[in-house]
Amino acid sequence: MSKELYKSMNAENMEELVHAFYPKVLKDPILAPFFIAKLGDNIESSGWKAHLKLIVEFWKFAALGYDEYTNNPLTPHLAMEGLSREAFGQWLRLFHETVYEIYEPFAGDYLKDKSLDIAENFMRKLEI
Please name the amino acid found at residue 56: V
Q: For the whole model, what pTM was predicted?
A: 0.86
Measure the CA–CA gap between 31 and 108, rounded to whole angstroms. 22
Measure the CA–CA gap between 115 and 128, rounded to whole angstroms. 17
Report the first-to-last Cα separation within the chain, whole angstroms.
36
Of the chain, the percentage scoring pLDDT greater than 90 comes to 78
48 contacts 97 by C-beta, under 8 angstroms: no
Phi, psi (degrees; rounded to nearest 5) at 68: -70, -25
What is the pLDDT at residue 6?
55
Please give the residue range of the domain that contains residue 115. 3-126
> Residue 106: pLDDT band by 50, 70, 90 thresholds?
confident
Q: pLDDT tens digits for 20-77?
A: 999 999 999 999 999 999 999 999 999 999 999 999 999 999 999 998 888 999 998 9
Q: Residue 107's domain is classified under what CATH number?
A: 1.10.490.10
- 7 has which bridge partners? 103
DSSP 4: G
Q: How many domains does the chain have?
A: 1
What is the pLDDT at residue 8?
84
